[in-house]
């Protein structure tokens, strides 16, 4: 059974990108945010992104208009009742996600509907356990910016049914035209297990005064051929997200390399979250 009706919970950078990807792929999408104001802001973000894509010739004006017609925004979680797939992209806070999975698991009408999380680190099996439909729950981890990045991590838990995994694999490849990799239900999955220790190491280097932020980033761009330095990348991802992933991975594995350095804690406490807040390791206009 192909997926045609999708719900997305959370309209931040990741959530709005996931909505855009699905709408551009021809799917009907309902975006749920915490308030009417937040829903309108998310819609504005999606419109701006689609307009940039049209300006660059990535999509036609007709495709832009058609994609927007497929998107509905709301602050009412009940609007997800008829969805065949729901992607949770709320804040990377375990209790928030557990509450959402508990509520949405009861709301979905279709017993075959799939409930997924875009989490970077929270155990999928926990989310499935509270949903009341553990065999239809798994992780689907998009990468930022979702309309551009081809990779999607698919993460089944111990209780995910093989048919759920098969449907999600078809959805990602045939439905969205993206490339999936499969990972086990361990904090960090594949990409963040490799990436986050690298980013935290760069933050520790800056904290210790080895070099300026700009020189650390230039070193990795010019010396290793990376498209972006680790501190600029941390700003793009969001320092609060990096910190949350590090805490989750440290809690699971107790490896010091996963533990967020004090500077990261201080920056998050100060609201210096990176590009989304206007300032992180660099200022953003």
**Catalytically annotated residue among 49, 120, 234, 248:** 120
> Which one from 20, 33, 92, 153 is the annotated catalytic residue?
153
Closest CA to 88 of 123, 127, 49: 127
144 flagged as catalytic? no
- Beta bridge pairs of residue 6: 29, 85
CA distance 44 to 271: 23
Residue from 22, 118, 121, 192 carrying the catalytic annotation: 192
**Catalytic residue of the set 141, 157, 234, 248:** 141
For the question of residue 255 being annotated catalytic, the response is no
| Joined tokens for residue 144 | 């930022």
For the record, the structure tokens of 258 come out as 């996963």
Distance CA 93, CA 21 (A): 24
90 alpha-carbon distance from chain centroid? 8
22 catalytic residue (yes or no) = no
Active-site residue flag, 111: no
**Do the beta carbons of residue 138 and residue 124 sit within 8 Å?**
yes
Question: What are the catalytic residues?
Answer: 120, 141, 153, 192
């Amino acid at each position: 059974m192909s997926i045609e009706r999708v719900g997305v919970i959370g309209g931040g950078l990741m959530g709005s990108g996931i909505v855009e990807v699905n709408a551009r792929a021809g799917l009907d999408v309902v975006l749920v945010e915490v308030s009417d104001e937040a829903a309108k802001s998310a819609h504005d973000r999606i419109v701006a992104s689609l307009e940039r894509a049209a300006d660059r010739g990535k999509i036609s004006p007709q495709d832009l208009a058609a994609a927007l017609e497929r998107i509905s925004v709301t602050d009412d979680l009940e609007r997800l009742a008829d969805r065949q797939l729901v992607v949770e992209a709320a804040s990377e806070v375990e209790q928030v996600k557990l509450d959402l999975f508990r509520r949405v698991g009861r709301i979905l009408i279709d017993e075959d509907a799939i409930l997924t999380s875009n989490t970077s680190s929270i155990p999928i099996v926990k989310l499935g356990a509270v949903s009341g439909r553990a065999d239809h729950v798994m992780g689907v981890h998009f990468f930022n910016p979702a309309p551009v990045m081809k990779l999607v991590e698919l993460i089944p838990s111990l209780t995910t049914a093989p048919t759920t995994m098969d449907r999600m694999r078809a959805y990602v490849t045939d439905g969205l035209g993206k490339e999936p990799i499969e990972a086990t239900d361990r904090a960090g999955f594949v990409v963040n297990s490799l990436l986050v220790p690298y980013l935290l190491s760069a933050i520790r280097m800056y904290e210790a005064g080895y070099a300026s932020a700009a020189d650390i980033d230039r070193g990795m761009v010019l010396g290793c051929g990376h498209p972006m330095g680790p501190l600029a990348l941390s700003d793009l991802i969001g320092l609060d997200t990096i910190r949350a992933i590090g805490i989750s991975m440290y809690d699971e594995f107790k490896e010091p390399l996963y533990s967020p350095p004090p500077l990261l804690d201080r920056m998050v406490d100060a609201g210096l979250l990176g590009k989304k807040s206007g300032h992180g390791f660099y200022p953003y206009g």
